[in-house]
Structure 1
Amino acid sequence: MKKLFQMFKELIFKDVIRENEAKDTAVLLRSLALLSFAYHLAMFITSLRYLPLLESIYSALALFLIIVIFVASYKDKTILCLYAFCILSVLDAGIKTLFTGSSHGFQYIIFFSVLLIFFRTEGNMKLKYIFSILCGIIVCALSTTPGTSVFHDVDHSVLHIFFALSNCIYITIALIIISRFYCMKFSESEHKIIQYSKKLEHLASVDALTGLQNRRSMMTHLERLAKNYEHSEMPFSIVIADIDHFKKVNDTYGHDTGDYVLKKLAEIFRNFMAEKGYVARWGGEEFLFTFEGSNADFIFVELNNLKSLIEHTQFHFNEQDLHITLTFGLEEFDSGAGLLSIISKADQKLYIGKEQGRNRVIY
């Protein structure tokens, strides 16, 4: 049973042949066509017993047209099928209302056409409005139709209940199907917009070369840390690091080698800073670290470990072995000094380290 249901589901959701045809429209039409087939089959059986032969012939023709629409939806005829189903819905509602009267609610089936026309975002919007207004006029006109006395050999009240319930069930299920597809369509669009916004946000906050946070993103993070410090007084420190003699690496081995060094260091920093804080490419060969929840004395030891790790890491690119070292300037945050002042002090300590011979941590 489960396998049969899966095969049925795959049949309904099968893609269309043309790439420029909308699959969701085709699947919606197939779903409505199956529902409509069941509905018209019930009407056909009823018409054979209780309605004139002409109504039975029409019901048989409607069943045939629904099958044609269902089959054609697998070809490159999605738009044609959509219009055909809409026209069939209008004609069906009109004929049944003229035969039986407006009290059974056949005329309201016409509103399916309005929903289906607007489901396709393509097409002339003005024509869609005109079509919708015409559908409204037709429904109003049919609602005043008394119908003809075409029933025979049956209690009118029983047949009235059957038609009313059938239409109520048919319209309810059809509206659920159409609403579900509208929901799926707009959810998909909304999801794409959200994903695209996240992608743009990510691109705006990440350095393209290293994949680390960029300066703008890190400043936002620093401002958040400074604001939180006012309430929680959770300690954090700012570290600015600079690659020693990086210009010489670029001039001697080329910018591709320089890019390799930056990316390799970024990978080391990411692994090292896990659960310690954050790191960003501050600009050029400079990096800014935030160590959060630890005092500066502990961070000083950690930075020396990082310095030693980099010093003993093998940098090999284009058959060249490179010896890479960094100089670090460390400053613990103090709300009295302010964020920009702390960054400036960390930068000053970095340059003190440069003057003292590089490859060291200054605190």
Structure 2
Amino acid sequence: MGKFKKILFQDVENPNESADGPITLRISALVMMIYLLIISVTLVMVHHVWWMAGNLLFVAIYGYLLYLTYENHTRTALILYNIVMLGAVCFNVMLIGWDSGLQHFLFTLVLLDLLFTYLSKWSQGVVVMGLCAARLGLYFFCREHGKIVQIDGACDIFLQVLTTVVVFVLLYLSGLMLSKDSQAVERKLMKYNNELQKAANTDTLTKLWNRHYLMHYMGKKVEHPDDFLSIAIGDIDFFKKVNDTYGHECGDEVLRTLANIFKKEMEGHGVAARWGGEEFIFLFEGANGDEAKILLAHLQNAVRKATITYGEVQLRVTMTFGLVEYDTKLRLDENISIADERLYIGKENGRDRIIY
């Protein structure tokens, strides 16, 4: 079975052609070959052996069609598939009657032809109109002429069930392949949109949320506050000196290192974002001011202990924080302003401290 599957799903050599079309043709041809062989056996069972020859001819043509799909003649195979399907349907409907349901196989051709993108819309339209005309022609033919072979009883029931199942299998197969590309494109678009959204909401250097997105997030939180919120603004002490002494690339490494510390320390407690330059803002969710100050002290201590390596340079930095417990009587920007004012009080009073 593994070898058979490998052969059946073998890719095409043409780099400009998708394998979906040829594979669908192969599976469809195999299904029709089996189906027509079963009809041939049914004809033998009802003592109409000679009519079996017609279906065996169609089986042979389907076999040749399979060969074409492996020789990079997919377009020829598609044309041949349409012709042999139309021929097999017309032959068997005229043979065993309209009630056999074989005319429904023409619907499977419509969906299959839509799978091949190198068929123009005009060509597809012509094919659909041709199939519609063929089905109507068969209907009126069967109204005027009786069927040649009478199939009754268990054979008739078996044939009805088999035909219905095979038609639905072919419709499913073609529909699956047809939707495969559109679903792949949709997934790519969703992934691209998610990446764009993430890029729009993320600070490029630190990979933290940016100021715009955090304000949006906090705005949603304070609309329906169902728990304590606390806000802190932190600033790296003497950051300008780091840039002036070691260069801006070293300063960037400081920002990246601290951002990783913030992510780790804020996990499960809230979020951190880059506020601008060397300033960061922290939203503590479910924590009042006293609780947030304890959490912020752990974060401050982690910053103190961190050794930042840039080339041969190793340095440590400290941070000053202004903290406020969110006051629902004030607007969001007013609460942030209070935290910012407390930050500057900390700067003026020696740095490396939390003002609450």
Which category describes the TM-score, using the shorter chain as reference length?
0.7 to 0.9
| Secondary structure of the structure 2 residue equivalent to 1:240 | strand
Kept after mapping to 2: 8 A contact 1:21/1:76 = no
CA distance in 2, matches of 1:16, 1:124: 21
Picking from 324, 340, 346, the partner of 2:333 is: 340
Deviation for aligned residue 1:334: 0.5
Q: Which residue of 2 aligns with 1:360?
A: 353
Tell me the amino acid that sits aligned with residue 40 of structure 1. Answer: L
CA distance in 2, matches of 1:178, 1:350: 65
Q: Which residue of 2 aligns with 1:319?
A: 312
Q: Which residue of 2 aligns with 1:260?
A: 253
Deviation for aligned residue 1:100: 4.1
CA distance in 2, matches of 1:48, 1:291: 81
Kept after mapping to 1: 8 A contact 2:89/2:102 = yes
Deviation for aligned residue 1:44: 3.6
CA distance in 1, matches of 2:71, 2:168: 29
Tell me the amino acid that sits aligned with residue 187 of structure 2. Answer: H
Sort the Cα spacing of 1:96 and 1:348 in 2 relative to 1 into closer, same or farther, 3 A: same
Deviation for aligned residue 1:267: 0.7
Kept after mapping to 1: 8 A contact 2:346/2:353 = yes
Deviation for aligned residue 1:347: 1.6
Kept after mapping to 2: 8 A contact 1:272/1:306 = yes
Picking from 187, 193, 205, the partner of 1:191 is: 187
- Is there any run of 5+ residues in structure 1 with no aligned partner, and where? none
| Secondary structure of the structure 2 residue equivalent to 1:143 | helix
Deviation for aligned residue 1:136: 0.9
Sort the Cα spacing of 1:74 and 1:219 in 2 relative to 1 into closer, same or farther, 3 A: farther
Q: Which residue of 2 aligns with 1:284?
A: 277
CA distance in 2, matches of 1:219, 1:296: 20
**Structure 1 residues 102-121: Cα deviation after superposition (integer angstroms, max 9, x where no partner):** 34233221111101111235
Segment drifting more, 27-36 vs 137-146: 27-36
Structure 1 segment 20-35 matched on structure 2, within 5 A: 20-35=16-31
Kept after mapping to 2: 8 A contact 1:101/1:145 = no
Sort the Cα spacing of 1:283 and 1:71 in 2 relative to 1 into closer, same or farther, 3 A: farther
Q: Which residue of 1 aligns with 2:58?
A: 62
User: Does 1:205 find its partner at 2:234?
Assistant: no
What is the TM-score normalised by the length of structure 1?
A: 0.86
| Secondary structure of the structure 2 residue equivalent to 1:145 | helix
Deviation for aligned residue 1:340: 0.8
Sort the Cα spacing of 1:75 and 1:296 in 2 relative to 1 into closer, same or farther, 3 A: farther
Aligned residues: 352
Sort the Cα spacing of 1:121 and 1:48 in 2 relative to 1 into closer, same or farther, 3 A: same
Q: Which residue of 2 aligns with 1:81?
A: 77
Segment drifting more, 182-191 vs 341-350: 182-191
Picking from 266, 278, 288, the partner of 1:273 is: 266
CA distance in 2, matches of 1:76, 1:205: 48
CA distance in 2, matches of 1:28, 1:275: 50
CA distance in 1, matches of 2:85, 2:313: 75
Kept after mapping to 1: 8 A contact 2:26/2:69 = yes
Between the aligned residues of both structures, percent identity stands at 32
Deviation for aligned residue 1:241: 1.2
Deviation for aligned residue 1:259: 1.9
Structure 1 segment 293-304 matched on structure 2, within 5 A: 293-304=286-297
CA distance in 2, matches of 1:289, 1:80: 66
Q: Which residue of 1 aligns with 2:86?
A: 90
CA distance in 1, matches of 2:99, 2:294: 86
Sort the Cα spacing of 1:253 and 1:122 in 2 relative to 1 into closer, same or farther, 3 A: farther
Deviation for aligned residue 1:235: 0.9
Picking from 212, 216, 227, the partner of 2:212 is: 216
Kept after mapping to 2: 8 A contact 1:239/1:331 = yes
**Structure 1 residues 60-84: Cα deviation after superposition (integer angstroms, max 9, x where no partner):** 3321222233344345344443333
Kept after mapping to 2: 8 A contact 1:86/1:112 = no
